[in-house]
Amino acid sequence: MLLGAQAQTGFLPVCDHYSGVEARMRKSLQLQAEMAQELGTCVFDVTLDCEDGAPVGFEADHARLVASLALEAAPTARVAARVHAVDHPAFANDVAMIAGEAGHRLCHIMVPKVESVDDVLQVERALERASAPGLPIHVLIESPAAVHRAFEIAAHPRVQSLSFGLMDFVSAHGGAIPAQGMTSAGQFAHPLVVRAKLEIAAACHAHGKVPSHCVVTEFSDTVAMQAAARRAAQELGYTRMWSIHPAQIRPILQAFAPQQDDIENASKIIAAAAQADWAPISFEGVLHDRASYRFYWQTLERAHHTGRALPPSVRPWFGASAVVPS
């Protein structure tokens, strides 16, 4: 009722964790289960990677491995797969093998180097042939031309999320953007990179999709990781971010989670609104109506999906999995 026509395609975990080596893929799924048990909800997706994980010449074997790992995952696991780009020789087999064998276990499929809606349509047809027509599509925007078409791509009903591919985007400029533009700090300073990020975020919000921020390659630098995640969330409008190392997951959760004071305030406003049957209310001398209720409800959703404690007044709306404050 609160979200109405502005509802997104679905609230996704704020972290999307990528791994492509078998041992790391297995450890990632194990870590996902452990943190879900700890925090009361699944706080990150695990994306099994074919594009960067498959050895050259052994793409079919790797796709078979990804399908088997998805099938072995726990029923409550959120597991996805990144296939090769649509113009790669392995693309068709990736989709046929992974979506055909394990499509019912996947939360989405990620497609890199998407340039236009035509690429999305090609993915859609491949999923139909694999008998996985309902599988959500996530796309990776990695070139200036793709950024230009971001609104068109985001408008496609099967697309659930757009991600920004920083390193390929910088490389596509033929040296016009310096290497500093790929660093944790530089990517927030160069105008062309920032513009691309903003275009993708705006396209997603215009069409109710989820904008997912790019990786930070300095995975051993926790301070840089937290700073980048915080800026992505607070300055650029991103609601999700990639992780490429287990040490990055908790900093992303922390950066994208609401502060405890914000959670308490949102809980009070939503509880008061519910008592008023969602009519306008005055709370601490400030008028609130459904527009602000929507904002505060989304604050509580983010808190829940990042494993934050919810006050008793709103906890029943989030079921038994809501974390009980200590």
Q: What is the DSSP string of 184-251?
A: TTGGGT-HHHHHHHHHHHHHHHHTT-EEEE---S-TT-HHHHHHHHHHHHHTS---EEEESSGGGHHH
Give Cβ neighbours of residue 233 (< 8 Å, ≥ 6 apart): 239, 241, 255, 256
Q: Are residues 168 and 283 in the same domain?
A: no
Number of domains in the chain: 2
Low-confidence residues in the chain, pLDDT < 50: 5-7, 9, 324-326
Gap between the Cα atoms of 193 and 99, Å rounded:
33
Q: Are residues 200 and 72 in the same domain?
A: yes
Q: Does 325 fall in a domain?
A: no
Phi/psi at 237 (nearest 5 deg)? 80, 20
CB 324 within 8 A of CB 307: no
168 is in an annotated binding site: yes
Q: Are residues 168 and 310 in the same domain?
A: no
CA torsion sign for 21, 23, 25, 28 is negative
Q: Are residues 164 and 271 in the same domain?
A: no
Give the pLDDT of residue 320: 55
Where in the sequence is the domain holding 313, given as residue range(s)? 260-317
Q: Does 324 fall in a domain?
A: no
Give the pLDDT of residue 40: 85
Give the pLDDT of residue 2: 62
The residue type of 239 is T
Gap between the Cα atoms of 162 and 210, Å rounded:
6
Q: Are residues 306 and 179 in the same domain?
A: no
Q: Does 2 fall in a domain?
A: no
Give the pLDDT of residue 64: 98
Last residue of a domain, one of 205, 222, 256: 256
**pTM of structure:** 0.90
